[in-house]
Structure 1
Amino acid sequence: MPHPSSRITGIIPSGKDGWEVHFLAMTRRQAGEDIIMLSVGDHDFDTPSETVEACVRAVRDGFHHYTQLPGIPKLRKAMADVSTRSTGCITDKDEIIATPGGQAALYAAVQAVLDPGGHAIVVAPYYATYPGTFRAAGAGFTVVETRAEDGFQPNVAAIEKAVEPNTRAILINTPNNPTGAVYTRKSLEGIAEICIRHDLWLLSDEVYWTLGGGEHISPRSLPGMAERTLVLNSMSKSHGMTGWRIGWVTGPTSLIRQLVSLNLVTTYGLTDFVSHAATEALENDYGVKEIAERYAARRTVFLDAVRGMNEVTVRGSAGGMYVMLDVRAVEPDCEKFAWAFLEKERVSVMPGISFGDAAKGHVRISLCQPEDILREAAERLRRFVSTHRSKAA
């Protein structure tokens, strides 16, 4: 057969994307094993019933047709209103383009600001799809690692040092997946100053903005940044709608207008009835407060359960849906730790290395399980670390 394009084969060059532990654990669980799944950020509860009923009504009311490429006007208006709240900047619907989920928003933003051969800077740990998204655009990137000992806050001096003549963008994520770190105003101001001085775009992934600890600060609100910031958002986490695939990009009107052309040749718009249900969910904040409270409570339960655990340290973990554990004192190789934990205690966690070298020696714990299961997982973890002996020790 003919060869596939290098564009496709180069997205994940090694063929290994860090999800191997999760996929095996899922297979074993589906076969009937008692495995606790803490390796994926998908809610263990259904979408709020109000949103579901809104979708049913939209189907019955005949919303079965093509939609406008940037998203139906009511949806974009609702997204703009949420963006006004989340970023602190008054936002018009013409500064919004709707996308099928947060990943499509990321893809659109990268395609919008980077040409083949261009360069970006990515602050790590990062969400696992970031590198592949840059490769799909034919762009290079430099990873700037944060330090666990600094609470995974960005190192502004290291970001400055990574700027190259062909650098066009910086990508950040706060509240952060996988660490749960919430970037401080000082960190964001330092990054903003670099963007302004070097005339760079800032891609700000804020899909966990409702699940942060304390005040959410969007770099779009900082002086001089609205014109050069693309904010990526999604209803997946905030509204309990992971499978509905609704996200959006907020940015300057002129760039958003150009992104409509990308939708023309990719998504060709969103699903009609889903768009109407999403509009109602955004306008009424269906589930937002309850979901945020649920994850805050789960974070507290799990952190209380692991407090005082020998040789395991919590890093970051102020927001989002995850807790990051430093397990280097138990097992320096986090992949080996994850495989052994699955085998001995039947708990699935994500190796930190899946999210970049900054998270080496860590594992990510998803809080997408009820509190009693999180307590049981913590008990299995305590038992595991008390008996595990690294072969490298």
Structure 2
Amino acid sequence: MIFSKKAQKISTSLTLAITAKAKQMKADGIDVVGFGAGEPDFDTPENIQNAAVKAIKEGKTRYTAASGINELKSAIIDKFLKDNNLKYESNQIIVSTGAKQCLANVFQAILNPGDEVIISAPYWVSYPELVKLADGVPVFVETDENNEFKYNLESLNKVVSDKTKAIIINSPNNPTGTVYSEEELRMIAEFAKEHDLVIVSDEIYEKLLYGNEKHVSIATLSEDAYSRTIVINGVSKSYAMTGWRIGYAAGNKEIIKLMSNIQSHMTSNPNSIAQYASVEALNGSQDDVMAMIKEFKNRRDYMVKRVNEISNISCIKPKGAFYVMVNISKVLGKNFEGQAIKDSLDFARILLEKEKVAVVPGAAFGVDSFIRLSYATSMESIEKGLDRIENFVKNI
């Protein structure tokens, strides 16, 4: 029997696999420190929990419109206007089962076989796989740590072709924590205009910014940028609602309609209870979000300082999200207790075996001389895990 060749070419998510392995080791009684998870360790705020319970008790547990309830679309429209100065109508909004489904929908809606999508490396693990599932071709732009892993015009001009259909921006970025400035976004917007590209702007970490950083949505920069941008967002990261699975997208109404048609057949509506809870997340008090951001900043500052105090590894300070990309290039090619560390996969595997610390190898993001640490875990775990990493690196 011959199975789908396309499906067989799709890689598993290394981040989810590593997180699952760390959880299993913990369940087996092993003292593992997990730096893999891309989710806040905080509980969903109580007002959001209460809204979900209320929805259940009021019987709001049936099918909804496939593209989302009107109450949530209205809350999303208000959010875009208040936070981003972006004006959308209801027919420009879709609510999906997580931001990941929004991304899958948009690629299904815009790509034909052989169409190319520009992606910066390091990249979130699912971007290339979602493009391939939609019969597209991911085209990677290598970025430089010295430039905070950002696109530049020279690198973009090297990869664009007559087959290029779209470009992905992720700011704040997973896995690097990079935040694009308005000037940098204007360059990308002009590039997209020149080559008539769809801009897919993943802004899921929008609220997780530190210091004086400001989030700018590329869709605000011009009428042209607005018309060609699909903004991807959701409640998962900002409101500690990863398991609730609510994401949303906004943009060109023709593309949103295609996305809605696709979703109506693929999954139908997102979870009804989670949608009502998300209305409260967007409309209710933001105090818990602010408290979470303050704690993330403390953890980031500590992690960056500690990493840079360890000989032979280093990192730049991320400006958003909750990840640190650690440069391990100086230890590659060396050995730990007779085991060769040829690449980031070896580093992560041996570290987990010997020191019981789970990290994500940079190979998952297209950069093999790095590992990713998440500081979406307790300060106690961060301190313990970094002590173990220091001991590991010291003995390489």
TM-score normalized with structure 1 length: 0.93
Correspondence for 1:352: 362
Secondary structure in 1 aligned to 2:118? Answer: strand
Q: State the distance in 2 between where 1:113 and 1:292 align.
A: 35
**Cα distance in 2, alignment partners of residues 88 and 152 from structure 1:** 27
| Number of residue pairs matched by the alignment | 383
SS at match of 1:233: strand
Partner Cα separation in structure 1 for residue 296 and residue 14 of structure 2: 27
Letter of the structure 2 residue corresponding to residue 100 of structure 1: T
The equivalent of 1:56 in structure 2 is 53
Q: How far has the Cα of 1:84 moved from its partner?
A: 2.6
Report which stretch shifted further, 307-316 or 218-227: 307-316
Corresponding position: 1:376 with 2:357: no
Match of 1:172 in 2: 169
Question: Match of 2:25, SS?
Answer: helix
Residue 110 of structure 2 contacts residue 255 of structure 2 at CA under 8 Å; is this kept in 1? no
Which residues in structure 2 correspond to 1:1-393 (within 5 Å)? 2-12=1-11, 17=14, 21-213=18-210, 214-223=213-222, 224-286=224-286, 287-315=288-316, 317-331=318-332, 333-356=343-366, 359-388=367-396
2:15–2:37 Cα contact (<8 Å) kept = no
SS of the aligned residue for 1:209 comes to: coil
Question: What letter is aligned with 1:379?
Answer: D
Task: State the alpha-carbon separation in 1 of the partners of residues 94 and 309 from structure 2.
Answer: 47
1:19 positional shift = 5.5
Contact between 1:99 and 1:105, CA under 8 Å: does it hold in 2? yes
Amino acid at match of 2:312: E
Could you say if the C-alpha distance between residues 265 and 127 of structure 1 is closer, same or farther in structure 2, counting changes exceeding 3 Å?
same
The answer to whether the 8 A contact 2:131-2:138 is kept is yes
* Conservation of the 8 A alpha-carbon contact between 2:304 and 2:316: no
Deviations 1:337-370 (A, max 9, x none): 11222122111100111111xx321110011211
- Quote how far apart the aligned CAs of 1:322 are: 0.7
SS in structure 2 opposite 1:204? strand
> What is the CA-CA distance between 1:277 and the residue it aligns to?
1.3
Q: Distance in 2 between matches of 1:198 and 1:148?
A: 27
d(CA) in 2 for partners of 1:18, 1:195? 30
Alpha-carbon separation, structure 2, partners of 1:65 and 1:22 = 33
Secondary structure of the equivalent of 1:279? helix
Gaps of 5+ in 2: 334-342
Alignment partners' CA distance in 2, 1:311 and 1:93: 52
Distance change in 2, residues 1:127/1:316 (3 Å) = farther
Go from structure 1 to structure 2 and tell me whether the alpha carbon gap of 1:184 and 1:360 turns closer, same or farther (over 3 Å shift): farther
Mapped contact 1:120–1:167 kept (Cα < 8 A): yes
On the 8 A contact 2:13/2:126 being kept in 1, the answer is no
Alpha-carbon distance, 1:17 to partner: 4.5
Q: Any idea what SS the aligned residue of 2:138 has?
A: strand
RMSD: 1.8
Cα deviation per residue 1:233-265 (whole Å; 9 max; x = unaligned)?
Answer: 111101110000000111022322232211211
Q: Distance in 1 between matches of 2:6 and 2:329?
A: 36
* CA-to-aligned-CA distance 1:8-64 (integer Å, 9 cap, x gap): 22323xx68465544433332221100101111122222111111110010001101
Residues 327 and 85 of structure 1: is their aligned pair in 2 closer, same or farther, counting only changes over 3 Å? farther
| Residue 86 of structure 1, CA deviation | 4.2
Deviations 1:296-342 (A, max 9, x none): 12111222333422122113522101111111112352222112221
Distance 1:285 1:116 in 2: 45
CA distance in 2 between counterparts of 1:131 and 1:11 reads 9
> Letter of the aligned partner of 2:315 in structure 1?
V
Query: 1:159 and 1:209 mapped to 2: Cα distance?
Result: 24
Letter paired with 2:257: R
8 Å contact kept, 1:79–1:93:
no
- Structure 1 residue runs without a partner (length 5+): 389-393
- What CA distance in whole angstroms lies between the structure 2 residues aligned with 1:171 and 1:95? 19
**1 CA distance for matches of 2:384 and 2:148?**
26
Q: CA deviation at 1:195?
A: 0.4
Higher mean C-alpha deviation, range 161-170 or range 314-323: 314-323
Contact between 1:154 and 1:183, CA under 8 Å: does it hold in 2? no
Q: How has the CA–CA distance of structure 1 residues 276 and 230 changed in structure 2, closer, same or farther, with 3 Å as cutoff?
A: same
What is the SS of the residue equivalent to 1:211? Answer: coil
Are 1:18 and 1:353, in contact at CA under 8 Å, matched by a contact in 2?
no
Listed one character per residue, the Cα deviations across residues 266-289 of structure 1 (whole Å, up to 9, x for unaligned) are 121122222111111111155322
